[in-house]
Amino acid sequence: MNVKINENFDNLSENYLFSEINKRITKYKEENKAADIIKLGIGDVTLPLDKTVIDALIKASNEMGNKETFRGYPPEYGYDFMKEAVKKYYKRFNVELDLDSIFISDGAKSDLGNIVDIFGNNNIYIPNPVYPVYLDSNLMSGRNINFINGSKDNNFLPLPTSDIKKGSIIYLCSPNNPTGSCYKYDELKKWVDFALNNDSLIIYDSAYESFISSDEYPHSIYEIEGAKSCAIEICSFSKQAGFTGLRCGFTIIPLEIVCSNHQINKLWKRRQATKFNGVSYPVQRAAEAALTDNGIKECMDNIKYYMVNAKMLSELFDEKNIYYTGGKNSPYIWFKCPNDMKSWEFFDYLLKNANVVGTPGAGFGTFGEGYFRITSFNTHEKTKEAVERLRKLL
């Protein structure tokens, strides 16, 4: 067929990370049928939804089956009750949000991927390593991409440098996936001040915000003065409330952000009204319930469960004196592969010698090479067993 395609897709690398992992596990299992493999590569939640959330989901689903309470298309930007719930949640961080700045979505990935639609051909700055969606969505749109590199030297928390061009879009992810590292107030302020002074916009991914337990770290970029003029924040109920299968998130675009004489909030409204038909009523009621006092408490119990695993794992790295980041305000632990092994070499070594699976750091960017990510989403029992195996090996 002589139909032209978006040739930018040719610039994407093969999305092979998790398929390659599965291929190697399958092959190993075929050759070692008795192997009891523990998966510490899980990037998905494993605990079920909380009672408060499920009760709200059932109640709202029943309303949909009743003539008097049935609802059709939801508002593209979210029901007011849901936006009010997000607004109230942000008051916990002393952030006052305009209701019109909140957009309810079917998860952070969609909005992170779609936000490119409303911008022109700017210089894009993306952390390396990081969640791959920022890079791939900008590649698909043919953007000019630069990296802000993480390493042991900056504890995988890159700060602004003078070579970043004015008028750029900068992605930040804190707590970071995959490194688990998290910007402190003064560090994030450096980015906000940089953006304000250099006519640049920050896209801030706070999907793991609820794993922050220390007062030293901001939950939202809007805790930093001036951020409402230069930052979009994208968040998710996936990890906070176990919504990976239910799908809900939100994006905040303050009314103050103006680029090339256009209010960015208005452009996003226009984009969403054209290409998105909203999040279903039962899911929004479930997400609203997750933000009630009871909902937050129950969600935090699940997060505490995962963080017990993170503690078990990070204590092992402390004991072995192996460099790592994360594990404290994040479900991820990111560590340097022993004996200068490369990421995939260590993957095979760990699988063969401990029957433990993780994720090679090289899959998250070139600066992830030589590093490895493990997660705290397995059970206490399996994590404990994995720690014992790792203790013998590392």
Q: Given the rule CB under 6 A, which residues bind ligand PLP?
A: 43, 107-109, 131, 173, 177, 205, 207, 236, 238, 244, 249
Q: How far apart are CA 347 and CA 356, in angstroms?
A: 9
| Distances in whole angstroms, Cα of residue 238 to Cα of each of 80, 112, 174, 241, 255 | 21, 14, 15, 6, 26
DSSP 291: T
* C-beta of 110 vs 355, nearer to ligand PLP: 110
CB 86 within 8 A of CB 97: yes
Token code pair at residue 359 = 């994720």
* Least separation in angstroms between CB 339 and ligand PLP: 29
* Least separation in angstroms between CB 391 and ligand PLP: 28
* Least separation in angstroms between CB 144 and ligand PLP: 23
* Least separation in angstroms between CB 3 and ligand PLP: 30
* Least separation in angstroms between CB 28 and ligand PLP: 25
Q: Is 78 left (phi over 0), alpha (psi -120 to 50) or beta?
A: left
Q: In terms of DSSP bridges, do strands 249-252 and 38-39 run parallel, antiparallel, or are they unpaired?
A: unpaired
* C-beta of 101 vs 206, nearer to ligand PLP: 206
Q: How far apart are CA 53 and CA 319, in angstroms?
A: 39
* C-beta of 130 vs 316, nearer to ligand PLP: 130
Dihedral sign for Cα 377, 380, 383, 387, please: positive
* C-beta of 246 vs 289, nearer to ligand PLP: 246
Q: How many CB atoms sit inside 10 A of residue 197's CB?
A: 12
* C-beta of 44 vs 216, nearer to ligand PLP: 44
* C-beta of 355 vs 375, nearer to ligand PLP: 375
* Least separation in angstroms between CB 17 and ligand PLP: 13
**Nearest to residue 146, comparing CAs of 154, 155, 160?**
160
Place of tokens 């939202």: 220
* C-beta of 276 vs 349, nearer to ligand PLP: 276
Instruction: Looking at the chain, list the stretches that DSSP marks H as alpha helix, in order from N- to C-terminal side.
Output: 17-31, 51-64, 80-91, 108-114, 133-140, 185-197, 238-241, 264-275, 281-290, 293-320, 343-354, 380-393
* C-beta of 38 vs 248, nearer to ligand PLP: 248
Q: How far apart are CA 210 and CA 203, in angstroms?
A: 18
* Least separation in angstroms between CB 148 and ligand PLP: 15
* Least separation in angstroms between CB 114 and ligand PLP: 11
* Least separation in angstroms between CB 40 and ligand PLP: 15
- Read off the amino acid at residue 322: I
* C-beta of 181 vs 355, nearer to ligand PLP: 181
* Least separation in angstroms between CB 117 and ligand PLP: 17
- Segment 113-118 long-range contacts (CB within 8 Å, at least 24 positions apart): 113/137, 114/271, 114/275, 114/276, 115/203, 115/232, 115/234, 115/251, 115/268, 116/140, 116/141, 116/143, 117/141, 117/271, 117/275, 118/264, 118/267, 118/268, 118/271
* Least separation in angstroms between CB 249 and ligand PLP: 4
Instruction: Please list, in sequence order, all residues whose beta carbon lies within 8 angstroms of the beta carbon of residue 102, skipping any fewer than 6 positions away.
Output: 77, 78, 83, 86, 87, 250, 251, 252
* C-beta of 180 vs 370, nearer to ligand PLP: 180
* C-beta of 187 vs 209, nearer to ligand PLP: 209
Q: What is the Cα Rg of the chain in Å?
A: 21
